[in-house]
Amino acid sequence: MVGTREAGSGERSDYSELRSNVSFLGHLLGDTIAAANGPEFLDLVEKIRRLSKSARAGGEDAAHAELLAVLRALDNQQLVPVARAFSQFLNLANIADQHHTVSRQMDPLFSASRNLSGNFEALLEEGVPAESIVDAVAALRIDLVLTAHPTEIMRRTLIHKQTEIGRCLSQLELGGLTRREQEQLHTRLRELIAQIWYGDDFRTERPSPVDEAKWGFAVVEDSLWRAVPEYMRRLDAALQECCGSRLPLEAAPVTFGSWMGSDRDGNPNVTAEVTSEVLWLSRWQAIQLYLQDVTRLVEELSMTVCVPALAEAADGSHEPYRAVLRRLREQLKGDLQTIEAALAGASPDSASLLTREDLWQPLSLCYHSLQACGMQVIADGALLDLLRRVRCFGVHLLRHDIRQDSARHTEALSELTTWLGLGDYAAWDEDARCAFLRQELASRRPLVPPRWTPSEAVAEVLATFAVVARQPREALGAYVISMARQASDVLAVHLLLREAGCPFDLPVVPLFETLDDLSRAREVVTALLADPWYRGHIQGQLMVMIGYSDSAKDAGVLAAAWAQYRAQEELLAVCAASDVRLTLFHGRGGTIGRGGAPAQAALLSQPPGSLEQGLRVTEQGEMIRTKLGWTSLAVKTLALYTSAICRANLQTPPTPRQEWRDLMEQLAAGSCTEYRRVIREEPDFIAYFRYATPEQELAGLPLGSRPARRRGGGGIESLRAIPWIFAWSQNRLMLPAWLGAGAALRQALDAGHAARLREMAAGWPFFATRLSMLEMVYAKADAGLSAHYDACLVPQELHWLGQSLRSALQRDADTVLEISGGETLLADSPWIRESIQLRNIYTDPLNVLQAELLQRQRREPQGVLEQAIMVTFAGIAAGMRNTG
């Protein structure tokens, strides 16, 4: 069966190639399992798969009972390999799915060009002038901020192997391969799958923040370094084709930031020393990549004809391009030595290191010389790609944000003012705090005395500001204040930056996270803009971050989404009235419960004007792999972002009518009330949550450098949003992604608002996207599996709560279908529905097995059970896709 996969053969429907690849990889995995564990074991795995398929297809009680019996009968030696078999199949299915989105059958990398050209052509047909499109592209600012992921389980070596499998699939679909070439690719795939099966899937120790940062650098090296110039080429081609214009040489529509190794909010492992090391490593990685590219150009640019300026720079060398580039290569090598010395503990003079302009000047000189001497085709090759990398990545690779909780700044100032005899800053009201901060910001004398010895916690905060002050401005993105609740939280950071001697203005970004914070965002920003010192300091530019995770955890997805939408509208209006340009920074996650949605739908459903200053958004763990992990995927993602932003800025999204807003207010209030009734007011809820989900086990696994909780205590409020979502997705109830929303929609239907709800779904992208995302959640949730977890793990006296929640799930799904007029969930997305159904056959056994394993582990903990549980975590997350 393995050899039946032919390259480029036969007619295919849109999805037949995907199904073929899934089947092909599945057979290779089966062959590997049989060779490693014996044919009897493969027969056992196949029996479990058949029973799962039968139970899912017809809801057969007998098949489900037999499936449960077989899984319960597994001995300890069988637990991990059975779980791995299903988990690895789901990983391979995901690889095939990712490959499909960029395959030749779907017009692969060319799909990025098609998306861009098609979007520009559609705008032209809608009456948008070509000049406006050119201006929109010139103003384009896409800043993707890579963040670590507390539920990212997969090792980097495994990610590399999966990427290589995707590359082999791409090779196989090329036309004209010889039989020998096909066989070589088949052999390579067998080898990679065997490497995965015989290897270790997971880390045995929790990664450090430096490890996480290195993972982020690897994404740049393996994917983004090639993706950025490829995306720029396709954007340039689309612009030329549709508008007769070219991208300027200096264009930098996309940049990348990072929180890895610099996000200290609730993570005591991220210290000032760690951040300093990560900043050096980031620069080291950039120089390494530039050195490779410059070395290649030295080998290739052997031309002798040049303009006088280049001849002068090359000191009259016969091969002027090589002469200039060799000198640059030596400078890069020198920088590497300097950075390595710094990493070894030395204190080098960072001012001697190359700047972005130092890189740009000789490369652009070579480019313009080639261009002027009739060698445009050479200029537009690898040299142009390198120039575009310089504009995007600079010499620091990524711009690193610093993030810290506002309470840590308050603690530092409280300790300082108390020592100075001024009183306790923490005890002052907002007016007193702001008055003090304004006075100090206006003063020329330092506030922090040299004789003061702060506590260890405060010393760490001050050390972080000192690290910031030592960096070049280009190394940093912004200083983000989590749990920002008042104007003094922002002014405090400006004061601490000044006290550290920071020589440049760094954007200080308040992050509004909870429902209350979002509702008060306008008030806080209004107060800041009324302050003369602050207005003068920001020079007409402001960045504000909108938190999606904590607001959804606080109030439920529907109330949070509306609060985020209103906060953006209000902030845009406040800033416009003060002639301040507002950049909105979106703290989205991959899951629906954390603000996730398909990129284009998410962007086009935002308030009018929200993308005028560009897009700044977090990309996290699994979503980095899914959207940016392969070069072709990254090109497609950047093209989608570009198309959506240009469309949103050129064809303003519809402003919701007042009656829609009024009904949305009712829906938000009703959904929040219902959500909090369950989460906060139901006395049995926390106990049920801890029994029914693997939240306790999740916290003990080596998944990420950041603790699962912000602080001590076992309540929901201290649990971070990501493990909160992850735990509910594992038991398939998906509670945070739907609770409250359907109940509010049902109230509106019962009140006679059916026509208005359908009108909103048809005419308002924001509301349509909410309904679409709810359908996705309902399709992925499974009441039967949730009930199985309850039967295995939850005490009898709490079963009523699980039954109540599952009844609500079914009612809510019916409610959304009533509004949409559909008979089945995802009726207008047949492939997504089919994909979920396919994965369920392999995910269901993992869920059933996980519940059994958790039951055994809670009775009598064993190492083999913990390992098997971790495998099920990874497998279920792979099957559910955007749930980690």
Which are the catalytic amino acids?
149, 553
C-alpha dist (Å) from residue 730 to 49, 708, 737, 874, 877: 19, 16, 13, 10, 7
In total, the chain counts a number of residues equal to: 884
Furthest CA-CA distance within the chain = 88
CA within 13 Å, CB half, 142: 26
C-alpha dist (Å) from residue 826 to 316, 417, 832, 835: 68, 59, 7, 11
Closest CA to 845 of 194, 35, 84, 19: 84
Q: Are 407 and 265 in contact (CB under 8 A)?
A: no
CA distance 247 to 339: 34
Q: Tokens 């001050």 sit at which residue?
A: 462
CA distance 785 to 780: 11
CA within 13 Å, CB half, 516: 5
Q: Tokens 């390999």 sit at which residue?
A: 81
Phi and psi at residue 440, in whole multiples of 5°?
-70, -35
Q: Are 119 and 600 in contact (CB under 8 A)?
A: no
DSSP-assigned letters across all residues of 629-689: SSHHHHHHHHHHHHHHHHHHHHSPPPPPPHHHHHHHHHHHHHHHHHHHIIIII-TTHHHHH
DSSP-assigned letters across all residues of 498-564: HHTT--S---EEEEE-SHHHHHTHHHHHHHHHT-HHHHHHHTTEEEEEEESHHHHHHH-HHHHHHHH
Closest CA to 702 of 81, 163, 211, 79: 211
Specify the pairing of strand 254-258 against strand 581-587: unpaired
CA distance 882 to 725: 11
Query: Distance between terminal CA atoms of the chain?
Result: 34
Amino acid at residue number 138: A
Rg (CA), the chain: 28
Closest CA to 849 of 37, 52, 43: 52
In sequence order, what are the residues at sequence separation of 6 or more whose Cβ sits closer than 8 angstroms to the Cβ of residue 815? Answer: 742, 745, 746, 749
Q: Tokens 């504009």 sit at which residue?
A: 391
Q: Are 515 and 481 in contact (CB under 8 A)?
A: no
CA distance 440 to 447: 7
In sequence order, what are the residues at sequence separation of 6 or more whose Cβ sits closer than 8 angstroms to the Cβ of residue 768? Answer: 605, 760, 761, 762
Closest CA to 230 of 638, 643, 640, 642: 638
- Partnered with residue 584 across adjacent β-strands are 544
Run of H or E residues at 425: none
